[in-house]
Amino acid sequence: MQNNKQITLIIGGAASGKSRYAENLLKNSKQEKLYLASANIYDKEMQVKVEKHRLRRGDDWTTITEPLNAADKIAKLNNKQIMLFDCATMWLTNHFLAENDIHNEIELLIDAINHSSGSIVTVTNEVGAGIVPENSMAREFREIQGELNQRLAASAIHVVQVIAGLPLTLKHHNG
């Protein structure tokens, strides 16, 4: 990635290779690499997954664990930093379960991304390609996740969908 600000969205299904693809985008960056982790670790399986990701990234990353206040961390980026925000879906889930004002939180996040001085790569899940959920809570979450993904994609300079580890560029602007 170049030193000018980049806003990239990586989207795909669960276990599609999104995180690995995003990490590889930043691998050779000369900017300071920050990893913004939104996951809460509730069980052994999640702890193993987090550790696997950390080992794969290596030691030249600074990890920031922030399940709710991603906008604050993104807003503080400077032009010598690049951040991988992994992932917007977990961040949204945290706000959803906390019964926070999700639409306000989305506005704060998008505003932070748009006005940050640093570059950001955001990972998110595509949840609209499956069957219609049978319960109202899952349907509500799917709608809100779809709204968040559309807002993230609209703000991004680059959007890449990852399927089975293979990237498909959906949006690319040079400039």
pLDDT digits (tens, 9 = 90+) for 61-72: 999 999 999 999
Bridge partners, 162 (sequence order):
12, 167
Tokens of residue 38, six digits: 């939104």
Using a pLDDT cut of 90, give the percent of the chain over it. Answer: 77
pLDDT given at position 56: 87
SS3 category, 140: helix
Catalytic residue selected from 53, 95, 158, 172 = 53
- Mark whether 172 is an active-site residue: no
CB 113 within 8 A of CB 122: yes
Q: Which tens digits make up the pLDDT trace of 27-56?
A: 989 999 999 999 888 899 988 988 888 888
The mean pLDDT of the chain is: 93
**Domains of the chain and any CATH numbers:** 8-172 (3.40.50.300)
CB 10 within 8 A of CB 169: no
CA-based nearest residue to 89, from 135, 147, 48? 147
Amino acid letter, residue 104: N
pLDDT given at position 158: 97
pTM comes to 0.93
Residue with tokens 């989207």: 11
Q: What are phi and psi of 174, to 5 degrees?
A: -90, 145
